[in-house]
Amino acid sequence: MANKGPAYGMSRDVQSKIEKKYDDELEDRLVEWIVAQCGAAVGRPERGRLGFQVWLKNGIVLSRLVNSLYPDGSKPVKIPDTPPTMVFKQMEQIAQFLKAAEDYGVVKTDVFQTVD
């Protein structure tokens, strides 16, 4: 998601294939599900791939999502008062989400890595 110059050659072809696979309808369904599960406090992303990625980037929405699966008093992920802005803090928040997802029963091979 870093700002990069225009892609050429094979890089452009790969980027084009990635963009063609993106499903706006699936994004809408996911946003509706996350908001229904977590409540309106998570907000809504700007429409489109970049808006959706920015919404999930700092790990707060993901943390609220996994916490919503547990009863009060046993939430596995600590959510900071202010969303993290530093990259390593965001990665730390997402790592907590991934650990909680695995503890919940998601197979390790089905989760992404923090650097993704």
Tell me which residue range forms the domain holding 49: 25-104
Cα 113 from Cα 95, distance rounded (Å) = 8
Q: What are phi and psi of 104, to 5 degrees?
A: -75, -25
pTM of the model: 0.82
Of 27, 37, 93, 86, the residue nearest 65 (C-alpha): 37
d(CA 55, CA 47): 10
Spell out the alpha helix ranges (H) of the chain.
Answer: 9-21, 24-38, 49-57, 60-67, 87-104
> What's the confidence (pLDDT) of residue 8?
74
Evaluate whether residue 37 is within a structural domain. yes
CATH number for 56: 1.10.418.10
Domain assignment of residue 6, yes or no: no
Between 9 and 116, name the one with better pLDDT: 9
59 belongs to a structural domain: yes
Q: Tens digits of per-residue pLDDT, 49-90? A: 999 999 999 999 999 999 999 999 999 999 999 999 999 999
d(CA 41, CA 62): 13
User: Per-residue pLDDT tens for 2-59?
Assistant: 556 676 788 888 888 888 888 999 999 999 999 999 999 999 999 999 999 999 999 9
Distance, C-alpha 98 to centroid of its chain: 10
pLDDT digits (tens, 9 = 90+) for 91-114: 999 999 999 999 999 999 999 988
Overall domain count for the chain: 1
